[in-house]
Amino acid sequence: MSEHQEDTELFHSMINRVLDKEVAPFYEQWEEEAAIPRDVWRNLGQAAMLGIDMPEEYGGAAASFEISQLAIEEMARKGFGGLASGYNIHANIVMPYILHLGSEAQKQRYLPDMISGDVLSAIAMTEPGAGSDLAAMRTTAQRTEKGYVINGAKVFITNGLQAELVIVCAKTDPGAGAKGVSLFLVDTSLPGFSRGKGIRKIGQHASDTAELFFSDLVVPHGALLGEEGRGFAYLMQELPRERLGVGAQAVGATEGVLAITLDYVQQRKAFGQRVADFQNTRFKLAEARARLEMAKAYLKQCIAKYLKGEMGPTDAAILKLMLTEMQCDIANDCLQLFGGYGYTVEYPVSRFFVDARVQTIYAGTSEIMKEVIARSMLGK
């Protein structure tokens, strides 16, 4: 066995132990309460689950990128979709933004506390009047002698209710379209920052989602992440990793829902035979397995490209489109095989079903993914 395989197996075992101890016994309660207790993130930090592929100098485990995706996959496979989404934002999106774009002072200030779980993070792109159209955002950040003055609002922000740190996308040059966007590291304890009440969703209930407001919020000049006016380019640069995380969720959740369905159809009887013995059941599950194996192969291919710095926006769009649509289709087919029981919250297949739905919406809708792919072939 290679050293890489040994590392993967060790981390795989560790990830499962942590999830079984810190998450599994309580997850139903968190779903009912529509929140993950803040201390859970500190527990995950203590268990080395946060910052898995971050450098050791900031407190990370310095493991491979693949292992960080494995953590997301395992959460989704166990049916912890809300946790997987919150984790993807904090550990797989915000941390790399700071690592890749931040000054050394910003890295030293934030990454150790994010890796320990003492600081939970979010990223604020989406606005009430501008969803996937980031160039149309209206939140502004005006440069003054005392810092940047931020005004505006964001919506559908994962981890928004609890985050101590938010990367805020704002227009520093409102007349420059996409070229006028900049990124800021915003401490949520600052005057002028406020949150709306949690947004109730049809799925991923444990993941808190909020509306954020900025009213003459002043951040120091040192809160600028990267260079002024390059925010949109940074978002495009980091999107492949975000969409890899969503793809890992899709694969993990599909494996999870398929496993519980295989178990159910072999036990449940209808018309004198097992549900597993009907040709429709066999064909549906065969197709699901085939699609899953193809998805896993493409995810692996994209990860290899990403590690070489060769994964582009089209690769990321194809990955997100095909894997999330697959997840929704298979969750739907599996729920159908449970019959009436599938529509009850007592059977976990129902959570796999409702948790899947948002995957084709956040991080760029399926329609936007199709447009990205079409532009790569046909231009604008």
Average the pLDDT over 188-216 and give the result: 97
Q: Which residue has the tokens 């009907």?
A: 278
Helices (H) and strands (E) in the chain, counts: 12, 10
8-state DSSP, 200: P
Q: Which residues are annotated as catalytic?
A: 242
Length of the chain: 380
pLDDT digits (tens, 9 = 90+) for 239-269: 899 999 999 999 999 999 999 999 999 999 9
The three-state secondary structure class of 21 is: helix
The CA-CA-CA angle for residues 75, 76, 81, to 5°, reads 100
**Residue 112's pLDDT is what?**
98
**Residue 129's pLDDT is what?**
80
Element (H, E) at 124: strand 121-124
Q: Which two tokens stand for residue 169?
A: 């996308």
N-term to C-term CA, the chain? 48
Q: Tell me which residue of 137, 161, 131, 133 sits closest to 151, measured CA to CA.
A: 137
8-state DSSP, 127: B
Is residue 184 within 8 A of residue 170, CB to CB? The reply is yes
The CA-CA-CA angle for residues 161, 164, 167, to 5°, reads 90
Element (H, E) at 86: helix 81-87
Confidence class for position 6, pLDDT limits 50, 70, 90: confident
Q: Report CA torsion sign: 104, 184, 53, 298.
A: negative
**Residue 200's pLDDT is what?**
95
The CA-CA-CA angle for residues 23, 86, 263, to 5°, reads 50
* Global confidence as pTM: 0.95
pLDDT > 70 in the chain, percent: 98
Using the predicted structure, report yes or no on whether residue 135 has a pLDDT greater than 80: no
**Residue 2's pLDDT is what?**
66
DSSP 232-283: HHHHHHHHHHHHHHHHHHHHHHHHHHHHHHHHHHHH-EETTEEGGGSHHHHH
Buried b (16+ CB within 10 A) or exposed e, 37-66: eeebbeebbebbbbbbbbeeebbbbebbbb
CA distance 204 to 83: 8
344 alpha-carbon distance from chain centroid? 26
pLDDT digits (tens, 9 = 90+) for 57-98: 999 999 999 999 999 999 999 999 999 999 999 999 999 999
